[in-house]
């Protein structure tokens, strides 16, 4: 029985899988895959109030920097379905409350704050509309954020695929795939495009302790697209590099400072150091919505700390003594000097310097 279910899951076409979708008009709801259940179970949940959206982001039912930005934008639309009254000040107050509330769900991925700011800035620029019209405009903006993300993923794939050669082994960490975005992902978009071009790559996926986004999600996505993937534990990365199985590393990012320092899932920094020691290029793939140019360097990026139970009792199994002291930062920061290039929808940032980040991000007509 279980086998049949898993087989159906494997056979599901990637195009069938949308991380989330908005159903209906302004009075609609957000449907999303509960990523905490994958790959054992494919279940979609319905978010019909802002608290459910907040909880989904906090608990990683929806996760990955671009995806949580999109979910938060729809969360605002849901919040504005109730308690806005007829007067514009009521609407504005409810909008501020919703954005403030959703901003407290997770601190590191800047896409969350970027999306919330976009909605608030739009509202501030539309002073004379009725509350109904305002609500419609905010839903349109949330949909635009989702659509733009899809297009950025596609572009990132094209820019990044150029960096890979036929037969390359590529290592990735965490999940920067379709599940984490509204498109094909960031790092995974690069792999999808390289495979489409016939480059016959093999992806090595770090399992990504403690929540196993690599083992549960990245392998699942790649297998659906029939891209060769090999799962390894995080601690095997150095050895696999020494065995010359890896020709490039590509990961996503949650927030990139003005100088290119990049926060991503805990363990990314170690992978970058290993890549440098083995003279393997280490790339970050991320859309412009993941850059936080207000921060001069990565030391200013807030790092989320999560519950000790994720390490001591992961997936319902106790693996450490009760009461043990635990430190559980969810992200680390890779200094720009270890990053060979940042793959964006606007082109490749290389070398990774403050000047080059500014130049590529402000290039028009890409
Ligand atoms: O804690 P998560 O699963 O949300 O962490 C996700 C990552 O670290 C991803 O690599 C990053 O958000 C990029 S997703 C395109």
Is 254 designated active site?
Answer: yes
pLDDT at residue 142 is higher than 60: yes
Distance in Å, CA 66 to ligand 1 centroid = 8
pLDDT at residue 261 is higher than 90: yes
Query: 7: pLDDT confidence band, cut at 50, 70 and 90?
Result: very low
Q: What is the DSSP string of 136-180?
A: HHHHHHHHHHHHHHHHHHHHHHHHHHTT--TT-EEEE-S--BGGG
Q: Give the list of residues 6+ apart from residue 136 with CB closer than 8 angstroms, or none.
A: 26
Query: 86: pLDDT confidence band, cut at 50, 70 and 90?
Result: confident
Structure confidence by residue, pLDDT tens digits, 275-308: 999 999 999 999 999 999 999 999 999 999 999 9
pLDDT at residue 76 is higher than 50: yes
Query: 364: pLDDT confidence band, cut at 50, 70 and 90?
Result: low
Cα angle for residues 300, 159, 18 (degrees, 5° grid): 80
Query: 128: pLDDT confidence band, cut at 50, 70 and 90?
Result: confident
Structure confidence by residue, pLDDT tens digits, 187-218: 999 999 999 999 999 999 999 999 999 999 99
* Residue 16: per-residue pLDDT: 53
Would you say 31 is a known binding-site residue?
no
pLDDT at residue 365 is higher than 50: no
* Residue 84: per-residue pLDDT: 82
Would you say 224 is a known binding-site residue?
no
Query: 11: pLDDT confidence band, cut at 50, 70 and 90?
Result: very low
* Residue 39: per-residue pLDDT: 97
Name the E strands within the chain: 20-23, 29-33, 44-47, 169-172, 202-206, 229-232, 248-251, 255-257, 262-265, 282-285, 291-292, 331-334, 341-344, 347-349
Residue 31: Cβ within 10 Å count: 18
Q: What percent of the chain has pLDDT over 70?
A: 95
- Which residue of the set 168, 206, 254, 261 is catalytic? 254
Closest CA to 284 of 264, 267, 259: 264
30 lines ligand 1 (CB under 6 A): no
pLDDT at residue 14 is higher than 70: no
Q: What percent of the chain has pLDDT over 90?
A: 90
Structure confidence by residue, pLDDT tens digits, 309-350: 999 999 999 999 999 999 999 999 999 999 999 999 999 999
Ligand 1 site-directed mutation target among 70, 157, 176, 330, most atoms within 8 Å of CB: 176
pLDDT at residue 89 is higher than 80: yes
pLDDT at residue 6 is higher than 80: no
Cis peptide upstream of residue 351 (ω within 30 degrees of 0): yes
- Cα dihedral across residues 255, 174, 248, 151: positive or negative: negative
Q: Are 73 and 141 in contact (CB under 8 A)?
A: yes
Query: 10: pLDDT confidence band, cut at 50, 70 and 90?
Result: very low
Q: Which residue is closest in CA terms to ligand 1's atom 8?
A: 265
275 lines ligand 1 (CB under 6 A): no
Distance in Å, CA 157 to ligand 1 centroid = 17
* Between 57 and 130, residue with greater pLDDT: 57
Cα angle for residues 184, 215, 114 (degrees, 5° grid): 45
Q: Are 99 and 73 in contact (CB under 8 A)?
A: no
In b/e form, how buried is each residue of 287-322, taking b as 16+ CB within 10 angstroms? bbbbbbbebeebeebebeebebebbbeeeeeeeeee
* Residue 288: per-residue pLDDT: 97
């Amino acid at each position: 029985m279980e086998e049949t279910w898993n087989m159906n899951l494997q056979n599901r076409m990637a195009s069938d899988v949308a991380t989330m979708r908005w159903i209906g008009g302004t009075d609609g709801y957000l449907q999303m895959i509960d990523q905490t259940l994958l790959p054992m179970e494919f279940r979609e949940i319905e978010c019909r109030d802002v608290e459910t959206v907040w909880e989904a982001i906090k608990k990683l039912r929806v996760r990955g920097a671009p995806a949580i930005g999109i979910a938060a934008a729809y969360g605002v639309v849901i919040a504005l379905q109730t308690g806005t009254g007829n007067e514009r000040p009521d609407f504005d107050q409810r909008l501020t409350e919703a954005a403030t509330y959703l901003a407290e769900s997770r601190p590191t991925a800047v896409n969350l704050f970027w999306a919330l700011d976009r909605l608030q800035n739009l509202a501030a620029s539309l002073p004379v509309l009725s509350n109904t019209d305002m609500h419609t405009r905010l839903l349109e903006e949330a949909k635009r954020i989702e659509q733009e993300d899809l297009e950025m993923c596609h572009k990132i794939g094209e820019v990044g695929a150029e960096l890979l050669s036929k037969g390359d082994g590529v290592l990735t960490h965490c999940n920067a795939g379709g599940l984490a975005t509204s498109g094909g992902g960031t790092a995974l978009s690069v792999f999808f495009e390289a495979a489409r071009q016939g480059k016959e790559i093999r992806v090595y996926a770090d399992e990504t302790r403690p929540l196993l986004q690599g083992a549960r999600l990245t392998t699942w996505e790649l297998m659906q697209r029939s891209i060769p993937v090999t799962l390894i534990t995080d601690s095997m990365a150095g050895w696999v590099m020494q065995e010359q199985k890896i020709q490039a590393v590509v990961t996503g990012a949650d927030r990139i400072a003005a100088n290119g320092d990049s926060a991503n899932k805990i363990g990314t920094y170690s992978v970058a150091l290993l890549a440098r020691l083995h003279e393997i290029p280490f790339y970050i793939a991320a859309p412009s919505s993941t850059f936080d140019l207000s921060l001069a360097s990565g030391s200013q990026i807030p790092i989320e700390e999560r519950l000790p139970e994720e390490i001591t009792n992961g997936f319902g199994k106790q693996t450490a003594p009760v009461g043990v002291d635990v430190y559980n930062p969810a992200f680390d920061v890779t200094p720009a000097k270890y990053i060979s290039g940042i793959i964006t929808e606007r082109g490749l940032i290389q070398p990774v310097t403050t000047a080059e980040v500014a130049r590529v991000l402000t290039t028009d007509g890409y």
